[in-house]
Structure 1
């Protein structure tokens, strides 16, 4: 049943940090501070916030439409990007409510579909800390395990990163409503966006002045699934982003399409589940070896990419896409330590079909018989593939409507990327055709062509969140300028009282 009443649910109690969870964190080393150290860190963080006067008092005038209260900002997605965006908004005195469809503590891919042992980013990156030293992963880790343990750590264990994000949510006091799924999004011409939010009680319509889509890699489309699997039974293949019980791969002959990070993670998952054999099918003549993105990671790119010409933006992003990011060395060694894996170079899949109970995969180098196929083929941008975006899909302006690359530099990902504005706001394909579309913000990976990689990956997520929050703060202030001026005129708190100079009057 659909209702237009405001939700009766309240934000769930934040989960406790799972620092002692053996599935996600190592036991405390002897002499490590443990939970006492974490409590001390939380006290320090609280003091830092107090010294910085964060968060400031709320300043956005409350509003209503159709008898409903209107949220300042609704953030869709409670993963790293959503948490950072909501915190940046809160630090500007703006109320943000986060909605995530996952159960509490399982937002994002880290504890669900991700299969790497550790993160790929250097452990020293400050990520979503927003300039607060006590909010960094390093501070969280050292507080519990000590400095020697930090110095011995190579990369951040994936499930410990999830524990850190759970702690981040708790200490930042964020309003994150789990098991709430966006099922509809309708910008209106009267200064609000209507959101249909579904939960266990049904679907309700909420209103927000601004909506941030912090929906991850696949959040503006879905998995990129090649056509060659169309004739295969669905239970015989999976995309690397699918939830999968790895135990079902035991004894199977598994093929993995691709050679990037997710391909290595998928291959390792199969091998560690006792697959009989893993064949990696790589279309290139060699696996990429140099991570070109490392050369582009600097404050100049973070703050300067947005100011580049369209040609330079395309040239940078297309070059990185063309060269491809290699799989991490650790992930590759995780696979290659198994004797029953083979890498087939120059082997794009030409055809995949059932032959009895086997999958026969045809490549230029022959036919390989398999029992299961993993697709590590990335993601696509396709607004029409998501029912929640049905209203806005025909109106979102993409980069191919803005820029035509030179012949030979075509790139489907960049072609489909949304052409977003200075604060990540969506733009209309035809001005005036979808009033209010600019109240929806794309704070996820597909914004990289417009802004650089500051809205989906760990290195510059804080910079992106600040840019987003500052843009929304500016828009809110301008929209309410009459009320702010009226408040200025009505302000009557005296600074001096007249008695200061009473005996000095001539």
Structure 2
């Protein structure tokens, strides 16, 4: 960035944001009754994950007056989410003008944050947002809203305790936390983990990595590298390997042609944001089956970042049949013949296989998925990733596979990428995360109020602050009776 940031401009923005919040009476006054369990304080909501979605959810909860909240993230402060960890693109693919997690507050947008420091001309000259700068913005977002985030804390287990949820944590905070509601803002990995092709299972991890791993790219200098896939992450990882000095990088792409059109971008609208959830299941399946079939292309800039290197090659219609280890590294049998590599990067996405995450062991067998009756064959082909998607309620809450088997699921909210098939893209990507946070928190607020309805009614009866003191009028009834007697 050629322009020098202006701290005074950011201070002025923060003052304007504080005034806007005051004008809107935000945060709302706390209204949820305090709970104790065997002498232990109970949280209203715990949020797992303090990346973009976790921050948006936490901010919306606090602004709504649900203040007995904490968000935990396993990463150190400033490293939450993918932006400065396994995301390897140079810039975001989203347009710089999107509102993102601003929750309808203009002074909380990236644009306001950017222009306050670098000015209008710098904004006009900015093409796409550098990913590191997006992380800087999220750090500011957390700071300016004073969000209750605790870093370097990992959730290791979930269990029911009466009508509450017990969460085991370890790290900077260790022990058991009781909460009434749990929000899983766990990002791209959702509820599962890496999606690993069968041909890599059993292969020594010294010879391959998933694209979301912490990869030592310097160790690939001079090496023969293969990258599986044609999506954004495959291009970003290939480019990073090439820029680190890899001897060669081959893109092994199963498709006969590269995907070129980002279909969902073409129909982006508030109708899509708010309407997907209310569609019949067959229409939901139809939309996401089609986009899965057509696939999302990698950004043009990411693809050029790879192809400009003379030692990069693109192999289309190149499916992988088998991978074997030998003295020369990896022998890869493909539909185009055998190929040899020193290292392979699998940009193969993530899975909704809940059993891959030990912290969800108490939940996994009970979570209802789309394969449990919501999907029917007449909707389209039975795609595994979609069949594994959780069948969620209107506030992203899980549903039980067998009614009554795990009641706490109704109080656990899946605010991450795994919610897409039920709710649309409102809990994973930048464009509609504010709408997703609003939907989530409206549901949590309504359920907490209903659960405490007796207390709220008792407070209604007990409230005795008069607005009229009795000296504001004179009762004319006696005069009327006197006149009638005459």
Q: Normalised by the size of structure 2, how large is the TM-score?
A: 0.96
Q: Are 1:466 and 2:438 matched, yes or no?
A: yes
3-state SS of paired residue (2:116): helix
Which residue of 66, 80, 96 corresponds with 1:94? 66
Task: Tell me the distance in 2 between the aligned counterparts of 1:242 and 1:386.
Answer: 16
Report the counterpart of residue 366 of structure 2 in structure 1: 395
- Please tell me whether the aligned partners of residues 230 and 258 of structure 2 are also in contact (alpha carbons under 8 angstroms): yes
**Distance of aligned partners of 1:181 and 1:231 in 2 relative to their CA distance in 1, 3 Å threshold:** closer
Q: Report how far residue 233 of structure 1 moved.
A: 1.8
3-state SS of paired residue (2:441): helix
Task: Tell me the distance in 1 between the aligned counterparts of 2:368 and 2:120.
Answer: 49
Matches within 5 A, 1:85-124: 85-95=57-67, 96-124=69-97
Report the counterpart of residue 483 of structure 2 in structure 1: none
Q: Report how far residue 231 of structure 1 moved.
A: 4.1
Q: Report how far residue 200 of structure 1 moved.
A: 4.3
Report the counterpart of residue 232 of structure 2 in structure 1: 261
**Distance of aligned partners of 1:451 and 1:145 in 2 relative to their CA distance in 1, 3 Å threshold:** same
- Please tell me whether the aligned partners of residues 288 and 325 of structure 1 are also in contact (alpha carbons under 8 angstroms): yes
Report the counterpart of residue 339 of structure 1 in structure 2: 310
3-state SS of paired residue (1:381): coil
Larger Rg: 2
Matched residues, number: 476
Matches within 5 A, 1:365-376: 365-376=336-347
Structure 1 gaps of 5+ residues are: 1-25
Task: Tell me the distance in 1 between the aligned counterparts of 2:145 and 2:134.
Answer: 16
Report the counterpart of residue 425 of structure 1 in structure 2: 397
- Between 399-408 and 124-133, the greater mean CA deviation after superposition: 399-408
Deviations 1:446-495 (A, max 9, x none): 11111111111111000010000000000000000111011111111111
Report the counterpart of residue 323 of structure 2 in structure 1: 352
Which residue of 273, 296, 309 corresponds with 1:302? 273
Q: Report how far residue 357 of structure 1 moved.
A: 2.8
Report the counterpart of residue 188 of structure 2 in structure 1: 217
Report the counterpart of residue 482 of structure 2 in structure 1: none
Report the counterpart of residue 12 of structure 1 in structure 2: none
Deviations 1:62-95 (A, max 9, x none): 0011221110100000000000001111111002
Structure 2 gaps of 5+ residues are: 480-486
- Please tell me whether the aligned partners of residues 400 and 416 of structure 1 are also in contact (alpha carbons under 8 angstroms): yes
- Please tell me whether the aligned partners of residues 250 and 315 of structure 2 are also in contact (alpha carbons under 8 angstroms): yes
Task: Tell me the distance in 2 between the aligned counterparts of 1:35 and 1:405.
Answer: 58
Q: Report how far residue 187 of structure 1 moved.
A: 3.1
- Between 313-322 and 351-360, the greater mean CA deviation after superposition: 351-360
Report the counterpart of residue 7 of structure 1 in structure 2: none
3-state SS of paired residue (1:129): coil
Which residue of 441, 450, 462 corresponds with 1:478? 450
Q: Are 1:195 and 2:167 matched, yes or no?
A: yes
Report the counterpart of residue 4 of structure 1 in structure 2: none
Task: Tell me the distance in 1 between the aligned counterparts of 2:33 and 2:197.
Answer: 49
Report the counterpart of residue 179 of structure 1 in structure 2: 152
Report the counterpart of residue 103 of structure 2 in structure 1: 130
- Please tell me whether the aligned partners of residues 285 and 380 of structure 2 are also in contact (alpha carbons under 8 angstroms): no
3-state SS of paired residue (2:13): helix
Q: Are 1:58 and 2:30 matched, yes or no?
A: yes
RMSD value over aligned CA atoms?
A: 1.3
Which residue of 463, 471, 478 corresponds with 1:499? 471
Deviations 1:417-466 (A, max 9, x none): 00000000000000101122100000001111111111111110000100
3-state SS of paired residue (2:43): strand
Q: Report how far residue 358 of structure 1 moved.
A: 2.2
Q: Are 1:158 and 2:131 matched, yes or no?
A: yes
- Please tell me whether the aligned partners of residues 187 and 439 of structure 1 are also in contact (alpha carbons under 8 angstroms): no
Q: Are 1:381 and 2:352 matched, yes or no?
A: yes
Q: Report how far residue 39 of structure 1 moved.
A: 0.7
Task: Tell me the distance in 2 between the aligned counterparts of 1:123 and 1:151.
Answer: 10
Q: Report how far residue 337 of structure 1 moved.
A: 1.2
Task: Tell me the distance in 2 between the aligned counterparts of 1:436 and 1:376.
Answer: 35
Which residue of 293, 298, 321 corresponds with 2:292? 321
Q: Report how far residue 351 of structure 1 moved.
A: 1.2
Report the counterpart of residue 41 of structure 2 in structure 1: 69
Which residue of 194, 198, 201 corresponds with 1:230? 201
- Between 78-87 and 288-297, the greater mean CA deviation after superposition: 288-297
Task: Tell me the distance in 1 between the aligned counterparts of 2:465 and 2:5.
Answer: 49
Q: Normalised by the size of structure 1, how large is the TM-score?
A: 0.92
Q: Report how far residue 324 of structure 1 moved.
A: 0.4
Task: Tell me the distance in 2 between the aligned counterparts of 1:314 and 1:44.
Answer: 44
Report the counterpart of residue 250 of structure 1 in structure 2: 221
Report the counterpart of residue 5 of structure 1 in structure 2: none
- Please tell me whether the aligned partners of residues 311 and 405 of structure 1 are also in contact (alpha carbons under 8 angstroms): no
Report the counterpart of residue 450 of structure 1 in structure 2: 422
Report the counterpart of residue 142 of structure 1 in structure 2: 115
Task: Tell me the distance in 2 between the aligned counterparts of 1:490 and 1:434.
Answer: 36
3-state SS of paired residue (2:7): helix
- Please tell me whether the aligned partners of residues 78 and 176 of structure 1 are also in contact (alpha carbons under 8 angstroms): yes
3-state SS of paired residue (1:146): helix
Deviations 1:16-43 (A, max 9, x none): xxxxxxxxxx35x1xx561111111111
Task: Tell me the distance in 1 between the aligned counterparts of 2:36 and 2:96.
Answer: 45
